[in-house]
Amino acid sequence: MIKLNPYLNFNGNAEEAFNFYKSVFGVEFTSFQRFSDIPSDVPNPGIDEGSKIMHVSLSVGSNVLMGSDVPSKFPPISTGNNFNISLDTESREEADRYFKALSDGGQVTMPLEKTFWGAYFGMLTDKFGTQWMLNCETGE
């Protein structure tokens, strides 16, 4: 089943924001990773963000609220570009199909590829300026 969830971006205060959301919804983190958690053998494209948040998530009912700090080498986040829609698919083929369709006339930020966390993942901005993250957990 396809899932759509919001993915929030922050300028260094993701941990503060998600601790707030955690207290509001009375839930625990389902994922919490810092940039310093990236394995040393993984190519790191100039990201030296140490204790900033690479990925955090909270389950809120049947939905997931996710977020991260944007590395300082990228432009600062502002209202309008502070979120992505995360699309989880059941297969690589499905991810490829949606990625191709959504990127038509848009701009690929990160091509779909197998990641160090095991997922098949990519990012793009569609022709309307909406930012998308496509993820397939099977990664196969």
CATH number at residue 115: 3.10.180.10
pLDDT of residue 46: 53
**Phi and psi for 99 in degrees, rounded to 5?**
-60, -45
- Partners of 12 in beta bridges: none
Residue for token digits 């053998």?
Answer: 41
Mean pLDDT, the chain, rounded, equals 88
Whether 26 and 60 share a structural domain: yes
pLDDT of residue 47: 63
Whether 62 and 12 share a structural domain: yes
Contact 7, 66 (CB under 8 A): yes
Assess if residue 63 is contained within a domain.
yes
Between CA 139 and CA 135 the distance in angstroms is 8
Assess if residue 1 is contained within a domain.
no
Whether 93 and 136 share a structural domain: yes
Domain count for the chain, please give it: 2
Assess if residue 2 is contained within a domain.
no
Residue 137 tokens, joined? 């957990």
pTM exceeds 0.85 for this model: no
Q: For a pLDDT cut of 70, what percent of the chain falls above it? A: 94
pLDDT of residue 140: 55
Average pLDDT over residues 128-140: 83
> Residue 65 sits in a domain of what CATH number?
3.30.720.100
Report whether pLDDT(1) > 80. no
